[in-house]
Amino acid sequence: MVVLTKPAIDHFPIVKNSFKSPSFFNDIPVIDLSKPDSKNLIVNACEEFGFFKVINHDVPMEFISKLESEAIKFFSSPLSEKLKAGTADPFGYGNKKIGQNGDIGWVEYILLSTNSEFNYQKFASVLGVNPENIRAAVNEYVSAVKKMSCEILEMLAEGLNIHPTNVFSKLLMDEKSDSVFRLNHYPPCPDIQELNAKNLIGFGEHTDPQIISVLRSNNTSGLQILLKNGHWISVPSDQNSFFINVGDSLQVMTNGRFKSVKHRVLANSVKSRLSMIYFGGPPLSEKIAPLASLMEGEDSSLYKEFTWFEYKKSAYKTRLADNRLILFEKIAAS
């Protein structure tokens, strides 16, 4: 358990409460993957929100429960034990510090590569944690979520009348796919009431640089997304469903038709929030550019071509809230 002392509050970013009372936005698109019209609804959701909720998915609840159980076991350990897993460099255990550029939040996390060569033995020295159990739980879960992600991306391509329909999904299926997996734990923050109608930031506002992000959390709320009108709205939690984010790379590949959604997480005063996020990324050498079929001639491209390695390198030099794509936008001719 992480304890927040009064002086510590002053070091964390806060946001004035967006709502006079707890308020949720109930019009977030819900996509039933078992329905035949899903592909068109996915396209609409990506255009309007860059975000949607998925129900009737094929990810076994057993995989979710097993991974959640292992994550709780790890995060419930004393800090001195968790630190034995090694600081995030970038993979490993992180606490409060997000990235290398000064961002902090009321969060602790494990960041893992989905690459099969990832060394889980760094968890072996953490008392009561079995690295093989974590490895098996992560691999089962990620494999199922990756399969669902590819199905969604293929439905999306079909909805856009792009052929072949694996134009996005093949990047995640590539054995060199640079995808990562993150477990975020936001401990309860009892002293939050002292912040006078302000909220403590768990994870600051940002977009995800990859193609697609797939999030699942427990039943504790906290996630907010930014609408086109500039208003932040809270997303009702649902532990049985998944939430999909459009990433920066997908925004570029669709030439801005889809917008990567800016989102953040606020700390909760009473309950801890546990979320698991799969970030589906392309191979490092993959060239990212608007698809020709979505442009009206070469001159209509809004972005310069770049490799995923170039974008990733650039993104990790920025602060969370920065517009990372601005460096890769084509300047309109005056």
245-304 per-position pLDDT tens digit: 999 999 999 999 999 999 999 988 789 999 999 999 999 999 999 999 998 876 789 999
pLDDT for residue 7? 42
pLDDT for residue 25? 59
Nearest-angstrom CA–CA distance, 165 and 169: 8
Residue 200: enclosing H or E segment and its boundaries?
strand 198-206
Asked whether the CA dihedral 245, 247, 250, 252 is positive or negative, the reply is positive
Q: 30-48, pLDDT tens digit by residue? A: 999 999 889 999 999 999 9
Task: Say yes or no to pLDDT of 142 above 50.
Answer: yes
Quick one: angle between helices 131-159 and 38-48, nearest 10?
100
Residue that the structure tokens 């052929």 belong to? 163
Q: 218-236, pLDDT tens digit by residue? A: 999 999 999 999 999 999 9
Q: Which of 71-85, 102-116, 190-204 has the lowest mean pLDDT?
A: 190-204
Please give the sequence-ordered ranges of beta strands (E in DSSP) within 102-221, or none if there are none: 103-113, 180-186, 198-206, 212-217
Catalytic residues: 273
Q: What would the two tokens of residue 306 be?
A: 């770049």
Task: Say yes or no to pLDDT of 171 above 60.
Answer: yes
Nearest-angstrom CA–CA distance, 17 and 86: 35
Computed over every residue of the chain, the mean pLDDT equals 88
Strand 180-186 and strand 273-280: pairing?
antiparallel
Q: What phi, psi does 325 have (nearest 5°)?
A: -75, -15
**Mean pLDDT value of segment 194-206:** 76
Nearest-angstrom CA–CA distance, 39 and 164: 15
